Amino acid sequence: MNKLSLKMRILPLICAFLLIFSVAGCTGKTTDSSADENSSTTTNDESEQTTGSEEETTSGSEGSTSPVSDGTTSAPGKTQAGTTKKPGSATTGKNTTTSGKNNSTPTVTKTKTFRVEDFGAKGDGVHDDGPAISKAIIEAGKDKSAEKIVQFKANATYRIASAPETNSFKRVMNVIGAENVKIRGNNTKLLMKAPYRVAYIYESKNIEFSGFIIDYDPKPFVSATVKEVNVSKSYIDFECKHDLGFTGTVNPPSPYFAFRNRKDERLHFNITSMTKMSNNTYRFYMADPARVQRAVVGESFILPVYGSSHNIGGIFTLEQTENCEVKNVTVYSMPDFGFGLRENSGTIRFTNVQIKPEPGSDVYLASWRDGFHIKDNYGKLIWDNCYIGPLGDDAFNLSSVICNVDFYNADTRVVNMTPAEGSTVRNGIKVGDELVAYNMTTGDYYGIAKVEKVLSNTNSINIRIDRSLPIVKGCQIGLYSFNKDFVVKNSYIEGTVRVRSTGTFENCEFNVFWVRVENESYVEGPVPKDILFKNCTFKTPYTNNPVIFHVGTLLKTGLGGMPKYKCKNIVLQNCNFVNGRYNADSGNELIIK
């Protein structure tokens, strides 16, 4: 056989071999690609089951991705190379695609629901559900699911008459160091027994509290009728159809107030001691005989129930938390403060929150203290469509705690200072924050500066400021960054209002005894500036025509005179005073537009 003939026979064999090899290679490649695509659209979730129910929802469709904070997409089992590792298979490290298709993996969002009934709650208004609710909250806070919902039944009443023994502050819902917890009801009543309080949210993130009615039983305050007035001995005798919680004679904590039960007055009758005279008669000794003289036999008073009122603390405390929303919540009564907010960040939002007496109540108060007590927050604070009042104290107190200067180095511009209230340090102070330095003893004004550097924030606050000021030991510094640019809008506000922080009230109705834009002579500042009231209506329950909107500055308690530090850029824009007047102390800037 010649060489040409041999080549002609071998060549077809070689071609056939190459064709078989090519087909086999293509078939293997298609199989691998199909495996990757299938694995990107399925999950193998075998997470541990705990008390409560777990719900999974898959979001996204072919061609969609779910962004996360670093700009990538997230899905169970996803590798950094962008492919999905199928159980039992190898990962190629390459991102293979099919023409015309996006092989991105749909995001699986895991939500776990903690129903309080699963922890022993009854929701019958009789059984003490406090321990069960506390346990559900704690378990949700510890859980690592993406979203945790603590669910209460709609239209049910949960009686809360206890809290965990380890909780010395008597708070039932403790959300501490937790993330993405939503506490939800739907027209759900929390019927509290004092001194227990509703919630403490601390060092947490992305929290929601919604859909509740909060009330107390026994009520913190009840109505009573004046039977006798003795000015010389400074007492008033009352007839009361409710038990006031004590027998014999007791000396209540200080301060301890009663009120006349009327809309056109808000005076504190400071109580020094109380004696139960008979089953329905009580004698209250008052600190001020001049107040006793105002009482009239036969008129109605509001009396505190001993052990259920005063010096108990806020029903809702929010501290050092990032992002929280309270919505669709109504408070019919509370024994002390309402909502206390300190050192929070992110966005803190209150939507459709109402503080008011229960319909049909014969007591014209919801509380003897502040509705919202707001200090030293460095996030965005928003109130929308809220109803606040009537209260025995401020509907709003928006302020920061002033700092007392311990040391100042004029050469280095380093200030060492300590807050006048609370802890010795403050979170959230940063470079560029604006501050004001002044002296509430002498009345001197030292000027405005900015934080150039935060040196330490451990046992006291150490900062360097960006310009020299004639600061002296013992003077005061207030920070404008706290509560900055708060917004209160579309809301009804009754009682009194104190505003020191920079921000805006818009489309609000004020029915107030007064609004005061001023520094406080004790611990609250700073010297107010840049506060806007826009499209607001003002009226007062007072029958005469008093000053109900005042702008001014104060020295320390007991000192007279006009300080040199003044309020700046306080604006009433398109506001209407139905009755009542506004004014400003000399040198303070009140602008009417």
What is the mean pLDDT of the segment spanning 513-539? 96
Lowest mean pLDDT of 32-46, 116-130, 431-445, 466-480, name the range.
Answer: 32-46
**Which pLDDT value is given to residue 161?**
96
pLDDT greater than 80 at residue 16: no
**Which pLDDT value is given to residue 561?**
87
Scan for tokens 């007279």, then name that residue.
560
Helix (H, G, I), strand (E, B) or coil at 539: strand
Helix (H, G, I), strand (E, B) or coil at 260: strand
Q: Which residue has the higher pLDDT, 224 or 55?
A: 224
The structure's pTM equals: 0.82
- Provide the mean pLDDT of the chain: 86
pLDDT greater than 90 at residue 25: no
- Secondary structure letter of residue 119 according to DSSP: G
What is the mean pLDDT of the segment spanning 538-543? 94
Enter the tokens of residue 4: 């040409």
pLDDT greater than 80 at residue 436: yes
pLDDT greater than 70 at residue 408: yes
Q: In this predicted model, what pLDDT tens digit does every residue of 217-254 receive, in sequence order?
A: 999 999 999 999 999 999 999 999 999 999 999 999 99
Give 394's strand partners. Answer: 496
What is the mean pLDDT of the segment spanning 191-220? 97
Residue 504 phi, psi dihedral angles, 5° rounding: -135, 135
What is the mean pLDDT of the segment spanning 77-106? 39
How far is it, in rounded angstroms, from Cα 133 to Cα 152?
A: 9
Which CATH superfamily includes the segment(s) 400-479?
Translation factors (2.40.30.10)
CATH architecture of 221-304: Beta Barrel (2.40)
**Which pLDDT value is given to residue 68?**
33
**Which pLDDT value is given to residue 107?**
52
**What are the boundaries of each domain within the chain?**
111-218+311-369, 221-304, 400-479, 502-580
Q: In this predicted model, what pLDDT tens digit does every residue of 282-341 receive, in sequence order?
A: 999 999 999 999 999 999 999 999 999 998 999 999 999 999 999 999 999 999 999 999
What is the mean pLDDT of the segment spanning 429-433? 97
Confidence of residue 36 (pLDDT cuts 50, 70, 90): very low
Residue pair 45/76 in contact by the 8 Å Cβ criterion: yes
Percent of the chain with pLDDT over 90: 77
CB neighbour class for 15 (10 Å; exposed up to 12, middle 13-18, buried from 19): exposed
Q: Do 400-479 and 221-304 fall under one CATH topology?
A: no
**Which pLDDT value is given to residue 282?**
98
Enter the tokens of residue 559: 């000192």
Confidence of residue 388 (pLDDT cuts 50, 70, 90): very high
How far is it, in rounded angstroms, from Cα 254 to Cα 201?
A: 27
What is the mean pLDDT of the segment spanning 560-586? 96
Alpha-helical (H) ranges within 287-434 are 289-292
Strands 403-409 and 394-401: unpaired
